[in-house]
Amino acid sequence: MAILKVARIGNPVVRARAEAVPERAIRSAEMQRLIADMRDTMHEYDGVGLAAPQVHLGIRLAVIEVAEEDERAEDSVPFTVLINPRVHPLGKAMQTGWEGCLSIPELRGIVPRFSAVRLEALNAQGEKYVVEARGFFARVVQHECDHLEGKVYLDRMSGMESLCFLREFERFHAGETD
């Protein structure tokens, strides 16, 4: 497949609200190729999620995959396609955690997110599915769905005090817990 160019903050596509994917387009060869290319791109950049606006496409599509060896997650998340997703908080409990973004390279910051969410979406075959996500999986779902609304993690930070470059994050903060 192909590695796609990642749009960085400042490109208008990153800040625009994405349009719904028509159900008739989901099973098309073009959409299936895009999903595969997004997976390859996510892996190439060592990401755990990628939204279509990040690859210059203003559609409501995201992919997520969390490897078993990822120390941030309690459990792995198999490759998951989110088409036209909707996210609903499960309660008011929030959790803070470090986040980064392929569209904001080399920076990290502490972001509050709901601890648990209910995700409703269509999969790569256009079938509806519902899942309750908790912990790191919930964080990734919220992060990717924010991209579909034209938001980035910087918008969710309660302050800029924790914002740091990746090198300093790795030197001074890696391994910190909430």
Copy the structure tokens of residue 82. 């989110």
120 is annotated as an active-site residue: no
3-state percent breakdown (helix, strand, coil) of the chain, nearest 5: 30, 35, 35
Q: Is the dihedral of CA 98, 6, 40, 133 positive or negative?
A: positive
Task: Give the C-alpha separation, 26 to 108, whole Å.
Answer: 33
- The strand pairing partners of 64, in sequence order, are 49, 80
- Expressed in angstroms, the distance from the first to the final Cα of the chain is 38
Point out the catalytic residue in the list 23, 120, 127, 144.
Answer: 144
Give the residue numbers annotated as catalytic, written as ranges. Answer: 144
